[in-house]
Amino acid sequence: MLINKLPLKKDLNPSKIIINFACMIILAPLHGFTDFIFRNVYSRHYEGIDVAVSPFISLTQCEKINPRKAKDVLPANNSSMPVIPQILGKEPELFIQMAHFLQDLGYDELNWNLGCPVKSIANNKRGSGMLPHPELLRSILDKIIPAIGSRLSVKIRLGYYSTDEIHQLIPVFNDYPLQNICIHPRIGIQMYEGKIQHEILQAIIGDFKHEIIYNGDINTLDDFNNIRQRYPSIKKWMIGRGVFYNPLLPQQLKEARVEINVRDSERFSLFINDLIHELRLYKSEAQTVNKMKDLWSLFSYGFDERLSVINQIIHVDNLPDMIKTINTIIETEKRLLAK
Ligand SMILES: Cc1cc2nc3c(=O)[nH]c(=O)nc-3n(C[C@H](O)[C@H](O)[C@H](O)COP(=O)(O)O)c2cc1C
């Protein structure tokens, strides 16, 4: 199991740890995965994440925003990990309304989702579907920036249909006072798979006026070290799926250290059981079972026998069995590792 790679903090020899103070780790927004329940429980068991960008809040026409819509970023739900709310949409008036609502909650940075590749969203020029339309992008920034000030950051890809699109986008972004630009160096039609276009990003990174945050396929310390070498100017790194494949990853990246310790199965087990307990405070038993099935579609990557793990999880239909199944999966892995 990949998660068993770092000793518990108390077992480490502090003199041997190289702390990466210069690097900031940002939890990527994963809609349906990294909500406030996950973020709060995660931060009770693991270290290394400095800040999270929330999964997107979609803009909808309404007189006044219902706080339930922004439940994920309400300060009362977010005392454990700093969070930057993310907005998905393209209507300037609605954007400004949501920005002011979030500003009143105390947020001084908002992130605009210009990277979502989901077809139904992109076809509507939202998310990465905005990237082939630099003039539309400019007209929206023209309206929202004077109303919300320089509190906006954006999360983008290199384009939707083609990496050529980024060349028309850079001068547009450069004309506005953005906090930073987080880049996932794929194009929209690639979704989350296929080759990361490092050569393109390396060639254009110097053309941006803003601070760049890197995001994509950092799943191990080796990935991080390899990618870091390509971008010496980058100091902030966003990681998403890797946190599920290996919840110790943020700490490993921060401390630049990977070691084996079977007892980390215990930490993972405590984390998962705490997560189930917390989910039950907000959801029915059936909803909690379904949520676990979703989350394990990513957690399962941390196990050598991924297909068998998925197979066991998807056939469970009640919460006591789900808890039993998960604990058996973790125990089995722990015994295998101890051999
Ligand atoms: C299930 C899932 C949900 C996602 N939801 C969002 C989202 O709400 N907002 C966003 O900007 N990106 C979203 N993303 C993209 C991730 O934030 C990130 O850019 C992508 O997973 C690549 O980073 P990674 O390789 O570290 O996972 C999502 C990705 C996945 C797989």
**269 and 145 together in one domain:** no
Q: Are 276 and 288 in contact (CB under 8 A)?
A: yes
Give the distance (Å) from ligand 1 centre to CA of residue 294. Answer: 14
Residues with CB under 6 A from ligand 1: 28-33, 55-56, 86, 113, 115-116, 155, 184, 192, 215-218, 239-242
pLDDT at 227 over 80: yes
**139 and 238 together in one domain:** yes
For the stretch 64-116, pLDDT in tens is 888 888 999 999 999 999 999 999 999 999 999 999 999 999 999 999 999 99
**85 and 153 together in one domain:** yes
What residues make up the domain containing 324?
A: 264-338
**243 and 214 together in one domain:** yes
Q: Which helix (H) or strand (E) holds 210?
A: none
> Nearest 10 degrees: CA dihedral of 311, 30, 209, 230?
-20
58 in a structural domain: yes
**169 and 314 together in one domain:** no
Give the distance (Å) from ligand 1 centre to CA of residue 333. Answer: 28
User: Can you give the pLDDT at residue 263?
Assistant: 57
Which residue's C-alpha comes closest to atom 11 of ligand 1?
A: 113
10 in a structural domain: no
Answer with the one of 201, 228, 255 that is the final residue of a domain.
255
12 in a structural domain: no
Q: Are 53 and 155 in contact (CB under 8 A)?
A: yes
CA distance 268 to 333: 11
110 in a structural domain: yes
Assign 19 a pLDDT band (cuts: 50, 70, 90). low
For the stretch 156-179, pLDDT in tens is 999 999 999 999 999 999 999 999
Q: Are 73 and 102 in contact (CB under 8 A)?
A: yes
Answer with the one of 199, 224, 255 that is the final residue of a domain.
255
For the stretch 51-76, pLDDT in tens is 999 999 999 888 888 888 899 999 99
Which residue's C-alpha comes closest to atom 1 of ligand 1?
A: 30
233 in a structural domain: yes
CA distance 153 to 169: 15
Q: Which helix (H) or strand (E) holds 54?
A: strand 51-58
- Residues ≥6 apart with Cβ < 8 Å to 289: 316, 317, 318, 319, 322
169 in a structural domain: yes
180 in a structural domain: yes
Give, rounded to a whole angstrom, the gap between the first and last alpha carbons of the chain. 13
User: Can you give the pLDDT at residue 2?
Assistant: 41
**37 and 108 together in one domain:** yes
pLDDT at 243 over 90: yes
**53 and 29 together in one domain:** yes
Give the dihedral sign, CA 106/139/66/50: negative
**245 and 292 together in one domain:** no
User: Can you give the pLDDT at residue 21?
Assistant: 58
**203 and 107 together in one domain:** yes
User: Can you give the pLDDT at residue 22?
Assistant: 75
Ligand 1 atom, smallest distance to 182 CA: 19
CA distance 183 to 168: 15
**232 and 278 together in one domain:** no
pLDDT at 310 over 90: yes
Ligand 1 atom, smallest distance to 218 CA: 26
CATH of the domain at 183: 3.20.20.70
**69 and 154 together in one domain:** yes
9 in a structural domain: no
What are 331's two structure tokens? 């125990």
Number of folded domains in the chain? 2
Which residue's C-alpha comes closest to atom 21 of ligand 1?
A: 240
Give the distance (Å) from ligand 1 centre to CA of residue 21. Answer: 25
CA distance 155 to 116: 9
Q: What angle do CA 103, 47, 83 make, to 5 degrees?
A: 10
